[in-house]
Amino acid sequence: MSSKILTFTLNGETIRVVVEPTDMLADVLRDKLNLIGVKKGCGQGECGACTVIMNGDAVTSCIIPALKAEGAVVETIEGIGGPGKYHPLQESFMDLGAIQCGFCTPGMIMSAKALLDKNEQPTREEIREAISGNICRCTGYVKIEKAVSTAAEKIREGK
Amino acid sequence: MLQDYLIPETVEQALSHLQGGKGRARVVAGGTDLLLDLANGKKEAGVLVDLTRIPGLQEITLEDDLIRLGAAVTHNQVAKSKLIQEKASVLARAARSVGSLQIRNTATVVGNVVNAQPAADAAVALVALGAVAEVVSPSGKEYIPVEKLYAGVGKSVLDSTSQIVTRIQFPALLKNQGSAYERLEQRKALALPMLNVAVVVSLADNRFQWARIVMAPVGPGPVRATEAEAILTGADVSLGNIENAAAAARAQANPRSSALRGSREYRLEVLPVLVRRALEAAVVRAGGNC
């Protein structure tokens, strides 16, 4: 097997990492780069827990070959904010209790961020479409939808 | 076992990678189906040749009333494209119903065809649009109707270790033409179609010049309801003719009972309803009235 060096932009930083052709992006992010906010649920692109933003679009990183990310710009939950300076989406999810077990939350937030990056005034339908590929088995969708629209308001007010 | 992942910059380079692989190298685009098939052992590849960075293949173009989609065009690109929404709305609707947004951001429309699943939404719409695939191989370029690409359930006539579908093309719909898509599904996202129907009609003086009606999954690939199409050709636009066509479509369908997609009996009841709805919507979009 021929290992290769993957070069890409991860959360604003240029990263070079040795990967195998069989590696999926989610595994590289978790196991080689220690970004364990990227959750791996189904491993088949169905549950959305591994969602990251690649070149502006939400994608399921568990079925993206790592080498497909060559030259790409990738964002994970770790890159958008954290203690001290949370992203409005992270804040709203906490403030409104849009979290139960939390396993779907990073993917849910990244799907929502991909939407809000392009559309600061999404309709309810647009929010639903954006998170339709993220499954929450605690079934907290109502609060999640509210958290996304609240974050959108905050982002608009912050301008 | 996968040994290498290559990202060529031209179609020629991609072809030479495939030739160099001697049957072990395989084309990949979005990979949302292929990577799972490789992981499950349903398919084999030593080398993957990724087409998505080849300049030009990411584009949707309109030239001389012909719409062309490159091999790297994703479902979401098609669903959001103003051009497709206006000139081939059946395809925008079909592309919108595949998987989830994340899948639609990754999976390509050409891949939806080459993967050859019987009810792949975009492929069903493309057959209704009379789409043709541009297939490139070391021996040259050929054009094959999408309808003729099916060799069996999940089997394409194309060989992804030596042939590349670079584009798919179809005529943009004219003012007197309309299209529609109907889908029976258990949920509004991440749900396989229990039935899907794509329709394109062309009208003149409130008569059908022709109609193309495609239904799935009722056979190994998208199935043309040829009897229904024949009933409509030259016929007045009327609810009676549409009902007759819907009944003929049902008579030509052969769905299996499936735990995932519902029983044969149930789907045979629903199918003519979907055909009727699709025809009525397509007629309205073509400026006709029943």
pLDDT of amino acid B212: 98
Q: What pLDDT digit, counting tens, does each position of B112-128 carry? A: 999 999 999 999 999 99
Percent of chain B with pLDDT strictly greater than 70: 100
- Residue B106 touches partner A, C-beta closer than 8 Å: yes
| Residue A129 touches chain B, beta carbons under 8 Å | yes
Q: 3-class SS at B128?
A: helix
Answer yes or no: are the C-beta atoms of A108 and A147 closer than 8 Å.
no
Return the structure tokens found at B241.
């003719």
Helix and strand element counts for chain B (H, E): 11, 14
**Residues of B whose CB is below 8 A from A64:** 31, 106
Q: Residue B96: which H helix or E strand, with range?
A: helix B89-96
- CB of A141 within 8 Å of a chain B CB? The answer is no
Q: Which DSSP state fits B30? A: S
DSSP B160-206: TTT-EEEEEEEEPP-TTEEEEEEEE-SSSSS---SEEEEEEEEEETT
Class of CATH domain A4-79: alpha beta
* Pairwise CB contact (< 8 Å): A133 & B3: no
Residue A60 to residue B48, Cβ atoms within 8 A = no
Residue B97 has a CB neighbour count (10 Å cut-off) of: 20
Q: What is the DSSP letter of A86?
A: -
Residue type, B275: V
pLDDT at A1: 65
Contact B103 A133 (CB under 8 A): yes
First to last CA, chain A: 50
- Tell me whether A1 touches chain B (CB under 8 Å): yes
Task: Tell me how long chain B is.
Answer: 290
- pLDDT at residue number A152: 98
Question: Chains A, B: CB contacts under 8 A, how many?
Answer: 81
A96-122 pLDDT, tens digit per residue, is 999 999 999 999 999 999 999 999 999
Spatial separation of the C-alpha atoms in residues A120 and A105, rounded to whole Å? 20
Torsion (CA) B278, B281, B283, B286 in degrees, nearest 10: -120
Task: Indicate the DSSP class of residue A32.
Answer: I
CB count within 10 Å of CB B257 equals: 11
Q: B66-109 pLDDT, tens per residue? A: 999 999 999 999 999 999 999 999 999 999 999 999 999 999 99
The residues facing B155 across adjacent strands are B152
Whether the upstream peptide bond of residue A106 has omega within 30° of 0, thus cis, is no
Rg (CA), chain B: 19
Is A81-157 the same fold as A4-79? Answer: no
DSSP-H helix ranges across chain A? 25-27, 77-80, 88-95, 105-118, 124-130, 141-157
| pLDDT of A128 | 96
What is the rounded CA–CA span in Å between residue A94 and residue A12? 25
Q: Where are the domains of chain A?
A: 4-79, 81-157
| 110-149 in chain B: CB under 8 A from chain A | none
* Residue A38: DSSP 8-state: S
How many other C-beta atoms can be found within 10 angstroms of the C-beta atom of residue A136?
23
Is the CB of residue B191 less than 8 Å away from at least one CB of chain A? Answer: no
Q: Which residue has the tokens 């009727």?
A: B276
Per-residue pLDDT of B6-44, as tens digits, reads 999 999 999 999 999 999 999 999 999 999 999 999 999
Residue B36 and residue A24: Cβ atoms within 8 Å?
no
SS3 B283: helix
Task: Read off the pLDDT of residues A43-102 as tens digits, 9 standing for 90 and up.
Answer: 999 999 999 999 999 999 999 999 999 999 999 999 999 999 999 999 999 999 999 999
Most distant CA pair in chain A: distance in Å? 52
**Residue in B7, B31, B48 closest to A70 by CB:** B7
DSSP state of B147: G
- Taking only the tens place, the pLDDT of each residue in B201-218 is 999 999 999 999 999 999
Domain A81-157 has CATH 1.10.150.120: yes
A4 contacts on B by Cβ (under 8 Å): 5
